[in-house]
Amino acid sequence: MGHLTFSRTAYTGAKSALTEKGKSSTARGEQKVKETGKLDPLVDPAEFGVVRESRIRFEEQSGGLFKVNVGTPVPIEYRLDTTGSMGSNVEGALKALPSICELTSSVLPGRDPHYCASIFGDICDQFILCRGQFEMLADRMVNQLTLMHPEGQGGDTPEAPYYGIFGATYLTRAYIQHIGMKSFDFTITDAPGRDTLVIDHLKRVFGPQVLEKAKENGHQMNPRDLPSVHEMVQDLRKRVHPFALLVGTGAESYWRKLYGKEHIVILPVIEYVPHVMAVIIGLSEGTLDLQSAVDFLTSSNLQKADARNVVDAVSGIPLGAQRALPNFKRMPNGGDLFAAKTDLWPIDPSKAPATSKKQKTDETKPSGGWL
């Protein structure tokens, strides 16, 4: 993957190749389920080792060192409610993908955004959750979105977003979190969630070894004493900036109680999800302030009144929350050198050892690694 990032040309080509006019954009995923009774492994939360990973992209150097290709990876996970009236969200996400990637990357200069899309339904659905992989290339993201299986049903008003949030909390391994920084997480819904996690549903979603996988990832839990939803969200906030992006105000009180009012945004219109995500990230990173955010959005083809509506909607979030973290200025940049891919921090380039590749291979693995 090297230095490659999102390309609109690659997106257009992949969308043309993987969707068919007159059919649902998820026809491939629906056909897979019809033929096999299973999700495609790329979007099955129980496949690909269960734990989703976001790592630095390196290029090995002749001296045995590893050069950062793009910058510190910044994971951005977004999960879409596809129940009832929200059933067309995957269609919307596929259409909005260029805006999501281009807008968010523009407020993360020098970083390497990694995107993971998920969709959720309710416990009565055949599949409560589809969860993709962290990616940065357009064709791979389009491929995963078209393999989703939205059922568009759901049961009563409370839905089941918490299995996706469980994955983000306990089944994600991200470099950025191991250096004391945080990733970004967005839940897009119009409904409240259920109040408890159920071990049988966790096993349905992530497979029978779900708690063993969580333990391998550093999270010990008892199947007879699972964390409450509130405890899970508190764990999530230790490593993630979580936000609920709400369609309408019907579920506002529920999510406000769970996430806190500063992490709730009422969407002016659902089509502005990419703009809201980008402004939240920019305000958190300090690459935008409330005034420059309006200018940023108008330069992205929003009318000024609409841009102000978006900024007003997000104005209550914790401004500069990412920038305020202690290691913000230490995050690796493109071109930095690492002694090993598993190290947490780059080396001082003036002290780079003049070892050969063979010598480096024979050395003991450096301590302090994160994998």
Q: What is the pLDDT of residue 152?
A: 79
Q: What is the pLDDT of residue 356?
A: 42
Mean pLDDT of the region 226-250: 96
What does pTM read for this prediction?
0.94
Write the DSSP string, 340-369.
Answer: STT-SSPPPGGG-----HHHHHHSPPPSS-
Residue pair 135/114 in contact (Cβ under 8 Å)? The answer is yes
Residue pair 21/13 in contact (Cβ under 8 Å)? The answer is no
The model's pLDDT over 104-118, given as tens digits with 9 standing for 90+, comes to: 999 999 999 999 999
Mean pLDDT of the region 143-172: 90
- Average pLDDT score over the chain: 93
**pLDDT above 80: residue 21:** yes
**pLDDT above 70: residue 371:** yes
Q: Letter for the amino acid at 85?
A: S
Extract the tokens encoding 82: 């596809």
Q: What is the pLDDT of residue 104?
A: 98
Mean pLDDT of the region 20-47: 96
CA proximity to 177, closest of 327, 46, 333: 327
**pLDDT above 50: residue 69:** yes
Q: What is the pLDDT of residue 354?
A: 59
| Domains of the chain and any CATH numbers | 8-330 (3.40.50.410)
Which span out of 2-11, 277-286, 355-364 was modeled with the highest average pLDDT?
277-286
How much helix, strand and coil, in percent to the nearest 5, is found in the chain?
Answer: 40, 15, 45
